[in-house]
Structure 1
């Protein structure tokens, strides 16, 4: 905590006009900028050059300023002993120097040391003394910040808030943004103490914005750390996870072991050079006395110099050893912090994944009742006024189902549960099907969809047609949503072809409302639609582009965007695929759907939910299919053993033994009867597991009636017909 508070403390250059003449001021400025950007080694280097010039020009005030700045930088490195060493050197010089500003900084550093030791009230007293010695605005602002932190420590929150708020609107010539950042962070921490978490989030976001704009690396880390913790407290886990990931990136790029070693090496070198220069000054003094043949004084100086050298060497050896120990401890601490942060991020991701998976699965069961009952009611010739309400209910159910599917899709990608397939497909057919399925939406917006297809694209490609369809459904659907009375163009072109390797270029271009530069930075984030106003006007979940980005990532591709507000948008990417030139063109790519007559089938329905039992039974009765109901897996195994069914509709998630286990047990005595898995599929479900258990096909709940009947016809009726024929 003290290190975080110290990081705000840096004093600007001396008011001595000589600084401008010899370049010392520019090195002080560099040191200040490097320090605020957490580049401590470079800050020390710049400060060392300033001290050399000051000493060469015998500028005592500038040398005092250099010692003070060294003291503050070593405090940043948690080297209290070295801080005191430089502070003591400044003390000696100030005893013989009339320099009020230097005295003010000296007392300010003493207040910092007192605060570090927990002597809060003595620190406030020392700050009050320092304020009487200067009117330097930059120094007074840093005193104000330190005073606010002290007030926080003694729980005088009103006084701390007053100080922080005054710094938020500061007009400091040198460190306006840096002081604002520290003030916002102080207010955010104060809000946490007062349990005003929304205010803490607002101040934390303000701090993060200013810190990122100015490359204040340590403050960027502190702001992300605070937001991670506060978002977790208020239960906004997605946002907490974002900042947790940011912390890992920052630690990997900013707080590296190499950086720590470099800072320690630079700090040790400068400290050793300072000691060596002190010894050199003593040698020069001895030489002067030797020339004046003042033997007694030479003897005294020799003795003093000898003792000084021995003392400095002893101190240097001791401190070097301490530095090594502290460096090792720091490295171990950083490693532990990185491990802890990584574990926390993994746990947060797992918690989010499990939560979304459970919610997605549990929502499907009641949603099955909503969509199923709506379908049944629509087929019972409802009145005109009832039909309108039922269609609205059906639309809402479909919308909610799409939303759940989107969440589950992103969840699977994040959890590395999806892998792209490599099967044969026709790209032109995929694009044509996508466009045809979205023509109704296009008509509603009075918009044309144009396909610009390169006929040089091989007719047969190897890849994952389903995921590619999802990419274009989302991109074209997104373009249509924001385009009225315009055009959406889908472009597919060959970029390169060598043997069976093909590189294709895809683009979806629209003439819609466009996307501003600011919105483009976040448009691919989950639940992002540019703004709240856009979400309210156009609707949608804000997950479509996130899914596109994630799916293309599975193919090793990256979605790119060019857009301008009011002038439309263009989303484009490249994809590497394999061609199959040897395949004959007339091979069909999908089975044509048939209108099956399912009358007379006798099925076993395995379903634990009572409402779903009623709905499934009514849907079967609509097709003159009779059925028995089993409420659990054990009962299903018993009924399958006792009866001769044409097929089994097996729910997967049930209390007791699961549908997978029940299928395995049935297959021990019945290898032939078709079994179709009905499942509200979740993240951990694997289709391969269903087929390995003995299922013939899978239907995902809530299902569309036409898909439900088609699967029964393909798997159960055709099996029965083949069995009868034989």
Structure 2
């Protein structure tokens, strides 16, 4: 049934408003206010609920929409007789909004041109900014995105300089949305922050904060500003009450969370959120489908009722006055009852939905706790497994390298020397692979801390370059430039700096043959206590594609199987270098083109020590009488390793006894006097930690050095607890072993 009473009341309101306009009396201001009131009423009737995604028929009857259109047309007629250019602009703007909803792009142009002519006469830059904002929306409907963006940028400039604070909310929101579609994340960031700032200042349109924070989180993820992403997620969660938290919004939010964890390489969490996002979007589509179906059913029922009312009207035309009265009563009663029913159903569905969501949240929370416990157990198991595997792999490597070391001192034929060299190179390759894997694992678990030691960077780099060129020269020409202004002594982690530099230099040498390697180390800035050094290594090798650059920091990735087979290696070098640089709050930059070489650069901040310190280098091959008085106890459960290590110690001129386990070592210390003890850790009967504890109770001053394959970093607390100050890793370097014995005795 049509709402004739409702339309009649509105028409009466129009007539009452028209009278003062025609009278041209002193009440002209009242008539303008009345027209503005009718204009507002027409917008409410036409638009109904303000849904940013689509116009829902629920709550917008055909009668109300027709009434709103009628009011808008009447206002358009009235405003022609009023000399108020701003009111005319408002009416034209309302007409443009209505036509945009209808997607009638032909008529919109007429009203845009009309507004532009009025604004030119007024010379009002704020109104001009609002005009360009509408023009941008119009161009968006025409799919002219470049023109749309140009119009919105002009609108933003005008409104920022001449408009009110609230004017900046929608224009920056529109720009943010446009740039997000084009994946221009820096611009998204800029305009989202501007819109949020305007909302905070004007304290209006707070319901836009949720979407703006979502745009911000997506921009921060794509710009790798991960620390700020979680703030956006928290803001969205905290401010749920001030905006409509729809399933579609939830789907987008979960999708961004998935992208965030994917970029953080936490693929398990990423998959979890992507799955939840898909469920949310599926639910959203299902809900929309049901709403549209219900709306169509309601519309069909309304049409049937309209036909029935027409028939009743014809049949009862003679009793019009009585029927009209009854009709009004029935109409208002029906509207009231339908309103109650709709409200009750909505309240029931809302309550049911909340109960379901609470149950799901409770279940998800329990599953999350269980998953976290499993992850913690898996990490602990991984750590224990790594220690065991390290020990088992390092033990045979110790045997191989020790035998090679001893055999090299024997008289050998040329063929035997070559074979020993191959064995040594193979064991070195296995050792490097094992160390890289363990090193990467510790970095991922954030087990490393930067050391602060004083060293000469220029001398260190000279030695590293000479060493790498000797090992992997590939007949390349080396161009080396180390800035003479770099301080003689710097303070930092010498080992980790060496690792980063060597891994990048080794890559350049490996992938370049008969080419040029350009090495530059320059002082970028310097203060009294800080020096920023820029390192760059450029080669003329095979180069990389953009896709290969994007994957260069992934573990075990070398671009292709063909490259791996041709050049070898593990594909861990750049991944380890990147993670070490992250410890220094730095990053790595790659520029490359296929066939034109690669340039890799990075920067590191060093401390400048107050006083220069000279490196104390004490090593000698000679054996004097003092060495003969040094008695070492070697505790090693592997017989082969025991024989080799004992032989190395004896060759240096020291006396050496051996024990097969910790219990035997404790008994020998009680019976003999030793200068120091080399203690294996993982042994049967009694391990190295327990044996050290018993020995320290008997003799607190005796130096005990761990000779082991387990991770020093992961077991630092245990070493400190039992009193082991020095740790040597298997396979031990003979020269380092010699230095350690001398320093401890």
Same fold (TM over 0.5): yes
Matched, 1:570 2:599: yes
* SS of aligned partner of 1:677: strand
Matched, 1:402 2:432: yes
2:617 to 571, 581, 591: 591
| Alignment partner, residue 361 of structure 1 | 391
Residue 674 and residue 317 in structure 1: after superposition, are their counterparts in 2 closer, same or farther (change >3 A)?
Answer: closer
Judge conservation of contact 1:490–1:508 (CA < 8 Å) in 2.
yes
2:420 to 369, 377, 390: 390
Judge conservation of contact 2:454–2:491 (CA < 8 Å) in 1.
yes
* SS of aligned partner of 1:402: helix
Matched, 1:318 2:348: yes
Distance in 1, matches of 2:368 and 2:700, equals: 54
How many Å apart are 1:538 and its aligned residue? 0.6
Distance in 2, matches of 1:476 and 1:680, equals: 28
Distance in 1, matches of 2:524 and 2:284, equals: 47
Distance in 2, matches of 1:454 and 1:567, equals: 26
TM-score normalised over the length of structure 1: 0.60
Distance in 2, matches of 1:532 and 1:304, equals: 74
Distance in 1, matches of 2:289 and 2:605, equals: 51
| Alignment partner, residue 21 of structure 1 | none
| Alignment partner, residue 633 of structure 2 | 604
Residue 264 and residue 494 in structure 1: after superposition, are their counterparts in 2 closer, same or farther (change >3 A)?
Answer: farther
Q: What RMSD, in angstroms, separates the aligned Cα atoms of the two structures? A: 4.7
* SS of aligned partner of 1:668: helix
Distance in 1, matches of 2:292 and 2:530, equals: 59
| Alignment partner, residue 584 of structure 2 | 555
Q: Which runs of 5+ in 2 are unaligned?
A: 1-49, 66-221, 223-247
Judge conservation of contact 1:604–1:629 (CA < 8 Å) in 2.
yes
Superposed, 1:334-349 pairs within 5 Å as 334-336=364-366, 339=369, 342-343=372-373, 345-349=375-379
Residue 608 and residue 456 in structure 1: after superposition, are their counterparts in 2 closer, same or farther (change >3 A)?
Answer: same
Distance in 2, matches of 1:388 and 1:220, equals: 62
Judge conservation of contact 2:388–2:710 (CA < 8 Å) in 1.
no
TM-score normalised over the length of structure 2: 0.58
Judge conservation of contact 2:618–2:739 (CA < 8 Å) in 1.
no
How many Å apart are 1:438 and its aligned residue? 1.2
Matched, 1:674 2:709: no
Matched, 1:420 2:427: no
2:464 to 434, 459, 469: 434
Matched, 1:638 2:664: no
Distance in 1, matches of 2:511 and 2:398, equals: 31
| Alignment partner, residue 464 of structure 1 | 493
How many Å apart are 1:546 and its aligned residue? 1.3
How many Å apart are 1:278 and its aligned residue? 9.8
Judge conservation of contact 2:678–2:706 (CA < 8 Å) in 1.
yes
How many Å apart are 1:440 and its aligned residue? 0.7
Judge conservation of contact 1:353–1:415 (CA < 8 Å) in 2.
no
| Alignment partner, residue 651 of structure 1 | 680
Matched, 1:247 2:282: no
Matched, 1:544 2:573: yes
Distance in 1, matches of 2:397 and 2:252, equals: 46
How many Å apart are 1:468 and its aligned residue? 0.8
Residue 670 and residue 46 in structure 1: after superposition, are their counterparts in 2 closer, same or farther (change >3 A)?
Answer: closer
Superposed, 1:73-152 pairs within 5 Å as none
| Alignment partner, residue 55 of structure 2 | 48
| Alignment partner, residue 614 of structure 1 | 643
* SS of aligned partner of 1:654: coil
* SS of aligned partner of 2:698: coil
How many Å apart are 1:330 and its aligned residue? 4.0
Distance in 2, matches of 1:441 and 1:50, equals: 76
How many Å apart are 1:435 and its aligned residue? 1.0
How many Å apart are 1:418 and its aligned residue? 0.8
| Alignment partner, residue 151 of structure 2 | none
Judge conservation of contact 1:360–1:407 (CA < 8 Å) in 2.
no
How many Å apart are 1:44 and its aligned residue? 8.2
Distance in 1, matches of 2:445 and 2:420, equals: 37
How many Å apart are 1:387 and its aligned residue? 2.4
Judge conservation of contact 2:544–2:593 (CA < 8 Å) in 1.
yes
Residue 280 and residue 417 in structure 1: after superposition, are their counterparts in 2 closer, same or farther (change >3 A)?
Answer: same
Residue 266 and residue 577 in structure 1: after superposition, are their counterparts in 2 closer, same or farther (change >3 A)?
Answer: farther
* SS of aligned partner of 2:617: coil
Distance in 2, matches of 1:568 and 1:56, equals: 72
| Alignment partner, residue 9 of structure 2 | none
Distance in 1, matches of 2:557 and 2:60, equals: 54
| Alignment partner, residue 75 of structure 1 | none
Matched, 1:520 2:549: yes
| Alignment partner, residue 379 of structure 1 | 409
| Alignment partner, residue 719 of structure 2 | 690
* SS of aligned partner of 1:48: coil
Judge conservation of contact 1:607–1:630 (CA < 8 Å) in 2.
yes
* SS of aligned partner of 2:55: helix
| Alignment partner, residue 357 of structure 2 | 327
Distance in 2, matches of 1:316 and 1:696, equals: 71
How many Å apart are 1:393 and its aligned residue? 1.1
Residue 360 and residue 386 in structure 1: after superposition, are their counterparts in 2 closer, same or farther (change >3 A)?
Answer: same
* SS of aligned partner of 2:615: coil
Judge conservation of contact 1:357–1:411 (CA < 8 Å) in 2.
no
Q: Which runs of 5+ in 1 are unaligned?
A: 1-42, 59-211, 229-237, 717-726
Aligned residues: 503
Which segment drifts farther, 530-539 or 459-468?
459-468
How many Å apart are 1:364 and its aligned residue? 0.6
Matched, 1:706 2:735: yes
Which segment drifts farther, 287-296 or 365-374?
287-296
Judge conservation of contact 1:607–1:651 (CA < 8 Å) in 2.
yes
- CA deviation vs aligned residue, 1:301-343 (integer Å, no higher than 9, x gap): 7776665444333322211222222333344455455555555
Which segment drifts farther, 485-494 or 241-250?
241-250
Distance in 1, matches of 2:299 and 2:697, equals: 90
Distance in 1, matches of 2:687 and 2:519, equals: 45
Distance in 1, matches of 2:410 and 2:634, equals: 23
Judge conservation of contact 1:679–1:699 (CA < 8 Å) in 2.
yes
Judge conservation of contact 1:356–1:411 (CA < 8 Å) in 2.
no
Distance in 2, matches of 1:220 and 1:382, equals: 70
Which segment drifts farther, 424-433 or 277-286?
277-286
- CA deviation vs aligned residue, 1:432-468 (integer Å, no higher than 9, x gap): 221122121243x011333322222222222111111
Judge conservation of contact 2:447–2:714 (CA < 8 Å) in 1.
no
Residue 220 and residue 509 in structure 1: after superposition, are their counterparts in 2 closer, same or farther (change >3 A)?
Answer: farther
- CA deviation vs aligned residue, 1:581-637 (integer Å, no higher than 9, x gap): x424xx422424222414464321111112212222222333344322211112111
Judge conservation of contact 1:600–1:624 (CA < 8 Å) in 2.
no
Residue 679 and residue 432 in structure 1: after superposition, are their counterparts in 2 closer, same or farther (change >3 A)?
Answer: same
